[in-house]
Amino acid sequence: MIGGAGGIRTKYVMTVIKKICQCCDKPFEVTSKSKSQSFCNIACYRQNQSDKKPKWRCNNCGIEFSHRDNRKFCCKSCAAKFNNMHRDSTIRDKQRQTLLDTLSKRPKKEKIVKVRRDMKERKIKLKSARKTKEIPGPLSKIYILRCKHSGELFVSRAFSKYSPRYRHLYSREGEAAYKFTFNIYDYPDLFDLSLINEHGWYSVGGKNSKPINKTGCSRDHRVSINDAIANGYDPFYIKHPLNCQLMLHRDNKMKHTRSSIPYAKLVDSINAYEESKWRRARDSNP
């Protein structure tokens, strides 16, 4: 966010706001980014929109329904039944006579024969085109793109950020090599667990049926996975506990893919930590 004199760039800090749902009157929390939200979930929003629509009664079945426009029938079926019951017999006779006149001028059988003849001719053209390797009709589009990893140009039928040579690095399997695999509670000397005790872990529910906690904290890579893939860093240092820091999830999202420390500094600190750990193990087991 830009603010202050002379266009000084200042950090935007999101705050938590407590509100009351306008539909179910239940309290809920939102961030300052979503301060205009008036409902706790999408179900309450849809219920409120449905209540605003005026009520109408169907002229055929008598069922009450809601719609933003003035409607006489609840569905097309009721409209057709009502119109057929109150239609004049002379209109039916006129429609029947018009249909008979049309069929007498252009018989239905001749139309079917013509369509079948056209389909047969089209199949013959396609077979001859396959033999001569000439495909009729428009061709598919081809895009000339630049890979964000290597900067090289490549050709693709669909838009893609990375070329086929480097696409696997940014897939789920490629990022899995750099993700944390340790338990934070096994390293009480490296992490301040008071942040977890105060805010809890970030959670959106999901398959595990965990309670929703959007204001909780999460783990962050000090040297980001994006920089590690782009520069080919060693996964041992990227997934090490010293490369992990606890922070509120909203601050983690604002950090995005930026690294907070240089890779060389991380390598030096991890090497020193592992060396001291090896010395303590050697002294305890002479």
Question: Could you report the per-residue pLDDT of 158-210, keeping only the tens digit for each?
Answer: 888 888 888 877 777 778 888 888 898 888 888 888 888 888 888 887 766 67
SS3 at position 201: strand
Burial of 24 (C-beta count, 10 Å sphere; 0-12/13-18/19+)? middle
Task: Give residue 2's pLDDT band: very low, low, confident or very high (50, 70, 90).
Answer: very low
- 95 shares a domain with 68: no
Is the CB of residue 167 less than 8 Å from the CB of residue 160? Answer: yes
130-to-117, 121, 125 alpha-carbon distances in Å: 20, 15, 9
- 110 shares a domain with 39: no
How far apart (Å, rounded) are the C-alpha atoms in residues 153 and 157? Answer: 14
- 101 shares a domain with 68: no
Q: Is residue 270 part of a domain?
A: yes
- 271 shares a domain with 213: yes
Q: Is residue 236 part of a domain?
A: yes
Is the CB of residue 249 less than 8 Å from the CB of residue 31? Answer: no
- 195 shares a domain with 126: no
Q: Is residue 140 part of a domain?
A: no
More confident residue, 126 or 68: 68
- 193 shares a domain with 248: yes
Residue with tokens 């050709």: 155
Rounding to the nearest 10 degrees, give the CA dihedral for residues 141, 147, 152, 153: 10
- 96 shares a domain with 58: no
Structural domain that includes position 188: 164-284
Tell whether the model's pLDDT for residue 52 goes beyond 70: yes
Overall number of domains in the chain: 3
- 63 shares a domain with 27: yes
Please write the tens of the pLDDT for every residue from 201-260.
Answer: 888 877 666 788 888 999 999 999 888 888 889 989 999 999 999 999 988 888 888 898
Q: Which residues contact 169 (CB under 8 A, 6 or more apart)?
A: 149, 162, 229
- Average pLDDT score, the chain: 80
Q: Is residue 95 part of a domain?
A: yes
Q: Is residue 173 part of a domain?
A: yes
Q: Is residue 4 part of a domain?
A: no
- 126 shares a domain with 48: no
- 174 shares a domain with 102: no
- 97 shares a domain with 53: no
- 169 shares a domain with 277: yes
